[in-house]
Structure formats: C-alpha cells, structure tokens
C-alpha cells in the first residue's frame, strides 16, 4: 500500500471509530430518540454514514454492488425525508454495527489493494469529511437530548492564557481573495474559488463574545426590547418565547446556569457563549452598539501566514466544550485575533450564497439547496475535526438554529 492509501486508510478507520464511540455507551432505549426537527434518529444517522461511503466509494467509485438491496430506500438523505426517517425499518444496534463495519472493511480492502484513481480517492476523502461533520452532529444531538458527555479516546486539555485579549484589531481593508485556492488539497464546492472582494477598513474584536458579556445583554432586558431585534428576529423570539440562550436557566441564587450535556453548571464569565442563534447574536450587537462581521471580513481577520499547529486550538473535542475566550493564544491569526479557528462556530452577517462560477460537486444537494436561506458561520468549534478546518471553510445554518455549537464575535459599528 502506498503512502497516500495508508494515510486514507487511517482516516477511514479513525472516522468510523469516532462515530462508534459517540453512541457506544448509549442504551438501546437512548438510541430510540424522539422526533425532533433538528436531529436524526441515531441508528439511522449511524447507518447513513456507512451508506455514504458505500454509495460514493464502493458503488460510484469502484463499481461494486450494494451491501444489501434496501440501502437506497433506507439511508439516502437526498431522497428520504427527515420525518420519514423515524418510520423506517432501520436495523437494530447489532445489525447496524455489522452493516457499518462491513462497509468500512470493504473500503479499507479497496485501499489495501491500491486505489490510484483520482476520482475514487476524492470520493474517499469526501466521505471521511462527511463522517466528520456528522460526528459533530452526533455530539450536539447528545447535548440536545441531555445525554452524558461521550467517552472518547481524546487527549484533553487546551492552553489557557493569562494575557489580556480584549479590544479590537483594526484592519485597513483592501482587495481580498475570498475563498479557496485551486491548489487546496480538498475543499467543498461552496468554497470554490478564490475571487477578489473589495473590503473597507474595519475593526473586529480580538475574541468571541463571552458568557459574562451576554449576561449583561440579558440583565438589561435584551430579550424584551423589541428595538434591539430585526423584525424577523422579533417574530422568532415571540414564537419561541426565548428569554435566555438555549440550555440556560436562572439559578436559585439569582445567577445563571447552563446545561452541559447532562450537568447543570454555573455560567463562567470568560467562557465563550454558545447555543445562540443569528437573531440573538444580531440583537446583542445592536444592544452593544456593534455589528456582526461579514464573512469576507471574518476571513480576512482569520487569515494566517504563521503556520501555527492546530494542535493548540480547541478542536477535536480537546476542551470538552468551549473554553475561555482568551485561551489558545498560540493559534492567533496573523493580525492578532484569537480563536478564529476552533472553540465556537461564529455567525457572520452574510447570507449563504454561491461564489462566482459556482459548480456543484458530486454531492449536488450539499450546498445549493441551502443557498439564500441560511447564514454563514466560520471557524469550526471544539467538536470540529482539525483535518476539516481551514480559513475558507463555510458552515451554514438557518438563522433560528441555536442547538448547534454557535457563538459570535463583533465588529465596531461604522467600520
């Protein structure tokens, strides 16, 4: 097996093992999750990951037959509607595990025999990244359901910084190449390709917004002051009856607590706020006399020429959740912004749309069905795989979503 095949084999195996870890400790009853519009049935999602490898790598890439005849009707997310997934005859735990491992072993056997077709190798890389994205989704599913923090074979701990990271970084603007360079080893279709965008001078905060800062917004009646909200955001707030970030509650002592998986913990003033949606982030900015960055401003501030190791960032479940906004100074961007990579996904003011000349990749529904209906998030979070993250990576969610690991940083208004 050549070096490239060995490297991909390791990634295929490791991605599968992580998915297994994320459900291994759950009982059969816990695997039978109730219907929620923001999550998938756990065993369905688990099998869907194997199906993606099977469909693209083994069938489309290598011309092999399906492992079982009903997989398209069960696990194809492009044709099986979200609500339908709860009503399908999905295999129980042991049969699901058998299917997942059988597909994984067939992919590993393909690589062992030597896979040198460029398209096939691309399918393998894409399938690993797809599984990595779902591993993050499985993590926030456990949070949504109030399950315990997963037991993972991960070296934990991140660097905590004592230095002051407050204030803004001022950028002069200019012409900036937004998007991925064609020489990038892997990227998704919505990152293609780098194109010049004119950026006016702006000032962006060095850190993301903390729980303590967001507490100030709450205590100043931020959720009750209509003038702080966009019209759409105010409609969402009334309909959802939101008074606090998701998974927060007021403690008997009068302060606030947040639920971290199955544990209630007092909020920490320096910890990055998480589980806020775009509407909440936008309202906070209006209250603070600030604004959200555009995605080109975000990417310009995140761009780095120093090549620091992502091993120092809060990625890959290392922090077991978000950490203080001043942590991880070793991966500051070239202009001095902290945690542009890792810790929390950061909302931007930009509506998700194609870059000039957009052409969908083989997974045609990945991006284009979401254009003009989502907001762009950048940077990854504590549960994002480091092999996925880059300055140009674009995430996208509906502005009402706050179950995901999303936070934000701000820009000076008028800049």
Kindly list the structural domains of the chain, giving each domain's residue range(s) and its CATH number in brackets, ordered by start: 3-145 (1.20.120.450), 168-212+230-243+270-412 (3.90.1580.10)
| pLDDT > 90 fraction of the chain, expressed in percent and rounded | 89
Which residues are registered as beta bridge partners of 394?
378
The Cα–Cα gap between 105 and 137 comes to: 24
Query: Is the model's pLDDT at 7 over the cut of 70?
Result: yes
| Prediction pTM value | 0.97
Asked whether 126 and 362 are in contact (CB, 8 A), the reply is yes
Residue among 256, 253, 157 nearest 214 (CA): 256
Q: What are phi and psi of 147, to 5 degrees?
A: -80, 165
Residue among 346, 343, 329, 206 nearest 271 (CA): 343
The residues, ordered by sequence, that sit 6+ positions from 167 with a Cβ below 8 Å of its Cβ are 205, 206
Asked whether 379 and 341 are in contact (CB, 8 A), the reply is yes
The residues, ordered by sequence, that sit 6+ positions from 319 with a Cβ below 8 Å of its Cβ are 156, 157, 158, 327, 343, 382
The Cα–Cα gap between 269 and 97 comes to: 42
Q: Tell me how long the chain is.
A: 415
Strands 345-351, 406-407: pairing kind: parallel
Query: Is the model's pLDDT at 367 over the cut of 50?
Result: yes
Kindly state the average pLDDT of the residues 184-207.
Answer: 97
Is it true that the peptide bond before 193 is cis, omega within 30 degrees of 0? yes
Query: Is the model's pLDDT at 307 over the cut of 60?
Result: no
Packing angle between helix 211-219 and helix 278-288, nearest 10 degrees?
70
Residue 249: other Cβ atoms inside 10 A:
12
User: How confident is residue 304, by pLDDT bands cut at 50, 70 and 90?
Assistant: low
Residue among 213, 199, 364 nearest 294 (CA): 199
DSSP class per residue in 335-352: TS-S-SSSSSEEEEEEEP
Give Cα separations from 408 to 166, 205, 346, 349 (angstroms): 15, 10, 4, 10
Tokens of 169: 């970084």
Q: Tell me which H or E stretch contains 99.
A: helix 93-112
Query: Is the model's pLDDT at 35 over the cut of 70?
Result: yes
Q: Is 248 helix (H, G, I), strand (E, B) or coil?
A: strand
| pLDDT > 70 fraction of the chain, expressed in percent and rounded | 99
Q: Of all residues in the chain, what percent are helix, strand and coil, respectively (each to 5)?
A: 40, 15, 50
Give the pLDDT of residue 153.
87
Give the pLDDT of residue 308.
57
DSSP state of 405: S
User: How confident is residue 305, by pLDDT bands cut at 50, 70 and 90?
Assistant: very low
The Cα–Cα gap between 276 and 223 comes to: 12
Matching residue, tokens 């100030």:
216
Residue 356: other Cβ atoms inside 10 A:
9
């Amino acid at each position: 097996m050549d070096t490239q095949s060995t490297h991909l084999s390791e990634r295929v195996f490791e991605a599968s093992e992580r998915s297994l870890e994320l459900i291994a400790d759950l009982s059969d009853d816990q695997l039978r999750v109730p219907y929620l519009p923001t999550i998938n049935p756990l065993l369905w999602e688990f099998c869907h990951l194997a199906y993606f490898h099977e469909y693209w790598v083994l069938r489309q890439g290598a011309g092999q037959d399906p492992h079982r005849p009903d997989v398209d009707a069960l696990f194809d997310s492009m044709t099986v509607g979200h609500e339908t997934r709860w009503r399908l005859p999905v295999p129980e735990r042991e049969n699901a595990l058998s299917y997942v491992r059988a597909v994984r072993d067939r992919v590993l056997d393909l690589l062992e025999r030597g896979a040198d077709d460029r398209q096939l190798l691309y399918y393998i890389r894409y399938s690993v990244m797809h599984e990595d994205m779902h591993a993050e989704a499985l993590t926030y599913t456990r949070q949504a359901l109030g399950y315990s923090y997963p037991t993972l074979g991960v070296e934990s701990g991140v660097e905590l910084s004592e230095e002051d990271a407050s204030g803004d970084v001022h950028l002069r603007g200019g012409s900036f190449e937004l998007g991925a360079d064609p020489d990038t080893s892997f990227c998704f279709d919505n990152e293609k390709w780098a194109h010049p965008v004119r950026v006016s001078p702006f000032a962006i905060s060095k850190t993301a917004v903390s729980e303590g800062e967001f507490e100030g917004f709450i205590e100043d009646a931020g959720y009750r002051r209509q003038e702080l909200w966009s019209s759409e955001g105010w409609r969402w707030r009334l309909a959802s009856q939101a008074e606090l970030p998701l998974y927060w509650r007021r403690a008997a002592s009068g302060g606030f607590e947040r639920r971290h998986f199955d544990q209630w913990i007092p909020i920490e003033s320096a910890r990055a706020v998480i589980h806020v949606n775009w509407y909440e982030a936008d309202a906070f900015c209006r209250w603070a006399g600030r604004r959200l960055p555009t995605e080109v401003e975000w990417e310009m501030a995140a761009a780095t020429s120093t090549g620091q190791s992502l091993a120092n960032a809060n990625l890959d479940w290392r922090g077991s959740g978000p950490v203080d906004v001043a942590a991880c100074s070793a991966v500051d961007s070239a202009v001095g912004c902290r945690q542009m990579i890792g810790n929390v996904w950061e909302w931007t003011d930009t509506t998700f749309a194609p870059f000039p000349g957009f052409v969908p990749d083989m997974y045609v529904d990945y991006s284009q069905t979401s254009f003009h209906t989502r907001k762009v998030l950048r940077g990854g979070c504590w549960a994002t795989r480091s092999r996925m993250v880059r300055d140009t990576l674009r995430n996208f969610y509906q502005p009402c979503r706050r179950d995901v690991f999303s936070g934000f940083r701000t820009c000076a208004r008028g800049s």
